A = this chain, B = another copy of it.
């Protein structure tokens, strides 16, 4: 038996084949930049076939894809804002047709795949109640509660970038939400730029033209006063958001991942201290705050895991897997 996991991002496509126990047999990564619409679908199918041909398995049993946007489970279509032409792209049917009716095919949002991966072979292995907080270009949450991934009425549960955490409301929040405005990767740079523009007496190390997430975090280490305010705010909001997840979901783990965790992983103990001030105290005692251990491969693992579960649930007698 072989599983294929596919993780589609805005700039690259990663694929891996797995054993049923979750070990990677082979992997490949290709750029998707410049491709649009059905070209992206054709690329996914071609690369998946090439990987399957290379890994030596006699057959493919399940194919899972993680997508950067919303997956509409009722129609099998994907809305992915960073892939031109993917407003309502029929990825599920395309994969099913390419691999045949005997192969279990599953598509999920990337954030759902992240938590599925981490509870399979990562930081929350075996957990039935865990949340992946993905902080990168945007902020999203993969929610596993009582052993099931939450989807919501319109398949957009977990839009945690829109969390309201501080008053007053400001017009800057209209495009991405309060939490994402202050605490995503671009949010850190944006807030630093705004403070710099408003501070005529500033003598620190930041220069407007060069401000990035990384430069803000470096300036924080150099005790720059603007970087200090931006990062302290972000730590406070990461903590309040995590506290709200703990109070609402009572999880075993909150897993911090995405491009910012990464470099912000060192702040997790302080984020926990901040969360502990706000959260339901019994739930807070029951939860661990941890960094992603699968890192950029969480989506690959999760895509494969969810496809395997899809295959098992479609069979009258599910296979027992390690």
Query: Which residue numbers of A lie inside 8 Å of B, CB to CB?
Result: 128-129, 141, 143, 145-146, 148, 150-167, 169, 173, 177-178, 236, 240, 243-244, 247-252, 277-280, 282-283, 286-287
Contact = CB atoms under 8 A, between A and B. Distances in A.
B154 A146 contact: no
A247 B162 contact: yes
A153 B247 CA distance: 11
Contacts of A247: 159-163, 177
Given A152-B129, A156-B283, A164-B240, A143 B278 contact: no
Contacts of A128: 153
A159 B249 CA distance: 8
B165 A164 contact: yes
A236 B165 CA distance: 12
10 contacts: A153-B252, A154-B283, A159-B247, A159-B248, A159-B280, A162-B243, A162-B279, A163-B247, A164-B243, A164-B279
A145 B169 contact: no
Contact of A160 (B164, B167, B248): B248
A248 B158 contact: yes
Which 10 pairs between the two chains have the least Cβ-Cβ distance? A152-B250, A164-B278, A159-B280, A162-B247, A164-B240, A129-B153, A162-B280, A157-B250, A159-B247, A153-B252
A145 B157 contact: yes
B156 A150 contact: no
A251 B153 contact: yes
Contact of A278 (B129, B160, B162): B162
A129 B143 CA distance: 15
B169 A277 contact: yes
Given A148-B148, A165-B165, A278 B159 contact: no
A53 to B, nearest CB: 37
A69 to B, nearest CB: 12
Contacts of A282: 154, 156
B280 A156 contact: yes
